[in-house]
Chain A
Amino acid sequence: MSVGTLSSSAPAPQPRRLSTLLGYVLVAPPVVIMLLLIFFPALQAVIQTLFIENEATGQTAFSLQNYARFFADPIGLSNLWYTVEITIITVLLLFLLCVPLALYLRFSNSRVANAVQVLALFPLFVPGIILAFALIRFMGTRGTVETILQLFGFTGYHTPYLKPAGIIIGLVWEGIPFTTLVLTSGLRQVDNALIESARDVGANRFQIFWRIILPLIQRPALIVFCLNFIGVFGSYTIPYLLGPAAPQMMGVYMQQTYGDYQDRIGALTQAVITFLFCAVVGLLYVRTVTRQRADAR
Chain B
Amino acid sequence: MSTITQAAPPFEVNPRSSAASLSRFIRRDGIGLITLVVLILVILGPISSVFLWAFAERWRYPSLIPTQWGLSYWNETLSRADIGDALPTSIFLSLVVTFLSAIICLPAAYAFARIKFRGRQFMLLSFLVTNAFPRFGLYVSIAVVFFRLNLVGTLPGVVLIQLVNTLLLMIWIPTSAFQGVDRSLEEAALDVGASRWRVFIQITLPLVLPALSAAVLLTFVGTFYEAQGALLIGLPNVRTMPVLMYQLINNQVIVQYGAVISVVMWLPSFFLLGFAQRFLRGGALAAGFGV
Contact = CB atoms under 8 A, between A and B. Distances in A.
B141 A34 contact: no
Nearest to A170: B46
B281 interface: yes
Contacts of A125: 221, 266, 269-270, 272-273, 276
A147 interface: yes
Interface in B73-116: 104-105, 107-108, 110-112, 115-116
A41 B105 CA distance: 21
A274 B262 CA distance: 31
Interface string B259-290: 10010011001101100110011010111011
Contacts of A72: none
A290 B128 CA distance: 13
B7 to A, nearest CB: 28
B46 A137 contact: yes
B17 to A, nearest CB: 21
Interface stretch (A57-65, A73-81, A86-94, A234-242): A234-242
B11 interface: no
A22 B32 CA distance: 50
A236 B228 contact: yes
A167 interface: no
Interface in A132-150: 132-139, 142-144, 146-148, 150
A29 interface: yes
A272 interface: yes
A30 interface: yes
Contact of B133 (A113, A115, A144, A275): A275
A217 B111 CA distance: 30
B72 interface: no
Interface residues of A, number: 106
A243 B249 CA distance: 14
Interface in B46-89: 46-50, 53, 61-64
A259 B289 CA distance: 34
19 contacts: A31-B123, A34-B127, A42-B130, A48-B141, A118-B277, A120-B43, A122-B273, A125-B273, A132-B249, A133-B262, A134-B46, A134-B50, A135-B46, A147-B62, A181-B285, A186-B291, A267-B140, A279-B129, A281-B132
Interface of A: 5-6, 19-20, 22-24, 26-31, 33-34, 37-39, 41-42, 44-45, 48, 101, 104, 108, 110, 112-113, 115-139, 142-144, 146-148, 150-151, 173, 176, 178, 181-182, 184-186, 188-189, 219-220, 223, 227, 230, 234, 236-237, 241, 250-251, 254-255, 258, 264, 267-268, 270-272, 274-275, 278-279, 281-283, 285-286, 288-290, 292-293
Given A223-B291, A281-B132, 17 more contacts: A27-B112, A37-B142, A41-B138, A113-B32, A117-B281, A120-B39, A123-B43, A124-B276, A127-B266, A130-B266, A136-B249, A147-B63, A147-B64, A151-B62, A185-B291, A223-B290, A278-B134
Interface of B: 28-29, 31-33, 35-36, 39-40, 42-50, 53, 61-64, 104-105, 107-108, 110-112, 115-117, 120-121, 123, 125-138, 140-142, 145, 160-161, 163-164, 167, 170-171, 193, 218, 221, 224-225, 227-228, 242, 245-246, 249, 255, 258-259, 262, 265-266, 269-270, 272-273, 276-277, 280-281, 283, 285-287, 289-291
